[in-house]
Structure 1
Amino acid sequence: MKLYSNEENKRLISLLTAKGREPHSVIITGERGSGRRTLAKYLAASLMCESHSGKPCGVCKSCRMLEDGNHPDFITAKANENGNYKLDDIRALVTDSVIKPNEGELKVYLIPDFDRSVNTAAAVQNVLLKFIEEPPPHCVVILTAVTKEIFLPTVISRCIFLGTERCTKQQAEQWLTEKGTFGQDDIIRAVSCCGGNFGRCLEFLEGGELPAAFECAKAVCAGMLRRDEYQILKALFMCDGKKAQLRQALVFLSEILRGACLISLGTVPEDCCFESGASQLSSMLGSERSEELYRLVTEYIGRLDSNCNQALTVNSLTGEIFVRL
């Protein structure tokens, strides 16, 4: 099983499993698309591998079933269409945990994207608490989320934390090339936008709102470089009536401005979004104005999340960007 980067996580997992100190409650954090599920699957494979070497051998029956997605003892909880977990489903999972494994020595339960379960997070954790405190000896529970803020202190204190480690653009290009599905020009464009975030690169290549949002952010950059207020406004109105797309465009713009700020300070971030645009903005704005604009754009992302009128938000943001150029 191939896991890019994450060398420290691999070392820790190997150390724990090889010494017979297998963790039974684990929380994996990292940004969307950074490989939380992949790391969870690697951890499960390490724990369930018949070689007991501290890492997946990739050839035993357990490893092959996990790789093929049909291991009966690797159980993934399902959320509803809004990302919320139902209490009855989690209670059923806890009840199932007393049943011995079908194949090996362990059963692993994965509860992914827990931060999306906003409406039921606290109640679900209360149901899980006893399971996390004193899990059956044959059980492991893995939860994933963007950050640990969603979890209750009582849950946090009883779990081991792993954070996904950032991959390089070169690793993302290699992974996408190995899939054999996409052209090289498309891969380079996706990596230019999403850096070493494998999930976002794949989402970009599969279409949807990411490519259009990226083009919008690039057009805003072009308007900023020309100090052209109308061009900035026109670029933002590319997302007219598409709130999710506009939000993602502003996220890309904030990442470009973050890159511009870091470049001004003498550091080119490995995951820099639209590096050529960030470099030009860096030369034009310097670190202080880049940071000011970064904070401005993130503030307006918050306004969109608060359901402010989209047209008014775009007009206001355009004016505030222009006066800072």
Structure 2
Amino acid sequence: MEFPGFLGNAPVKEALSRAFSAGRFPHALLFAGERGTGKRTLAALIAKSLVCRDREHAPCGICPSCIRADAGSHPDIRTVEGGGASGDLNVDAARAMLEDAYRMPEEAPYNVYIVRLSGNTSNTAVAAQNKLLKLIEEPPDSAVFILLCPTVEAVLPTIRSRTQIFNLHPPEIGEAADWLRGKKGVEPEAALELSRCLGGNLGRMQEALDGSEATRAFMIAGEIVSAINGPGHRLLKAAAPLQRDRALFGETLGRLSLIFRDAFTLNAGGSSLLGGAPEAAEALRGFSQRRLMAMKELTDEALQMLGRNGNSGLLLTFYCAGLRQGDV
């Protein structure tokens, strides 16, 4: 099995290639990793390999099956998402997949389902996962399920125990910088600097080059982190762009929540980072576990209040004041 365009993660590639070559491919895979680590890229490559007509060089990229897979029109590959902004799996989508999964494939040996799980742990998300569990427990012989989620902990233990789990990570800084130079034409020094800043996360590096709102949120979150222990006016200045842009405010709060989570993980001796901003998390390493957890909880609370249409100006003032307090 080949992995064009999916960098790093050598152990994952080796394990998947070995299973594919031996004809013992798992019926259910779970890919976990922060946004931008290539979960969808890898899932698409696997789906294309499973329907490819050239088993020796899958995915060959030139057979009719590969061409239709690239075009998103192969009849035996389905991407399963729910509605709403998160796109998380819902009960209706899980039920439709349950009804569809027992049909015979039209062309390929397998029906392949790429299932998006956003990491939401609401009652609705749990109900959808319980519906999905019925398929994972007693899978049709001709079906392969590829589950995508930000973190393994967001998936029900009963599903985790029935899937082969792979945690995906960004490639090495140098490899990611080389990719930027070769694929995007970025100058060597700029490519290396961007790769270092974003921890080699290819998805976020592409967002940065596109100038997306997610990149603005990333930059503002980093400025807020660096200003937490500085003069009060510096923190307010860093957060000022959020006052009149609710979408940017929400994106930045989500980013900060992950950074505080990652800093807490680093302080506890862990290494599984989700926020794509290792330098920002490292800058908070000297903070107490109590304060880091309190800042994360404050951030999550602010995000919920923003979602309930709270006054963004007052909320921003409350939030900045909370970050400034030693014990929050």
Q: Common fold, TM-score beyond 0.5? A: yes
Deviation string for 1:107-164 (max 9, x for gaps)?
1011113424745322223333332222221111111111223333332222111221
1:43 maps to what in 2?
Answer: 46
Name the % identity: 29
TM-score after normalising by structure 1? 0.77
* Matched letter for residue 161 of structure 2: S
Of 99, 103, 106 in structure 2, the residue corresponding to residue 95 of structure 1 is 99
Distance across 2 between alignment mates of 1:156 and 1:168: 28
Confirm or deny: 8 A CA contact 2:114 2:146 kept in the other structure: yes
1:126 maps to what in 2?
Answer: 130
1:149 maps to what in 2?
Answer: 153
Question: Is the aligned partner of 1:10 residue 2:13?
Answer: yes
Runs of 4+ in structure 1 off by over 6 angstroms are 181-186, 255-262, 290-293
Deviation string for 1:209-257 (max 9, x for gaps)?
33333443454466568x4332223222332254314415635864996
- The CA RMSD measured in Å over matched residues stands at 3.8
The equivalences for 1:178-217 within 5 A come to: 178-180=182-184, 190-217=194-221
2:321 maps to what in 1?
Answer: 315
TM-score after normalising by structure 2? 0.76
Alpha-carbon spacing, 1:187–1:223, altered in 2? closer, same or farther (3 Å): same
Residue 91 of structure 1: how far off its partner (Å):
2.2
Deviation string for 1:32-76 (max 9, x for gaps)?
221111121222233333333485333433333323333221111
Distance across 2 between alignment mates of 1:133 and 1:256: 33
Distance across 2 between alignment mates of 1:26 and 1:244: 31
Confirm or deny: 8 A CA contact 1:113 1:143 kept in the other structure: yes
2:163 maps to what in 1?
Answer: 159
Distance across 2 between alignment mates of 1:249 and 1:142: 26
The equivalences for 1:146-295 within 5 A come to: 146-180=150-184, 190-220=194-224, 223=227, 227-241=230-244, 242=246, 243-248=249-254, 250-251=256-257, 254=260, 273=277, 288-289=286-287, 294-295=292-293
Q: Secondary structure at the match of 2:105?
A: coil
Q: How many residues align?
A: 310
Confirm or deny: 8 A CA contact 2:207 2:215 kept in the other structure: no
Distance across 1 between alignment mates of 2:44 and 2:15: 15
Distance across 1 between alignment mates of 2:262 and 2:150: 21
Residue 307 of structure 1: how far off its partner (Å):
2.6
Q: Secondary structure at the match of 2:240?
A: helix
Q: Secondary structure at the match of 1:28?
A: strand
Unpaired stretches in structure 2, ≥5 consecutive residues:
307-314
Larger Rg: 1
Confirm or deny: 8 A CA contact 1:217 1:249 kept in the other structure: yes
Of 53, 56, 61 in structure 1, the residue corresponding to residue 59 of structure 2 is 56
Distance across 2 between alignment mates of 1:256 and 1:91: 35
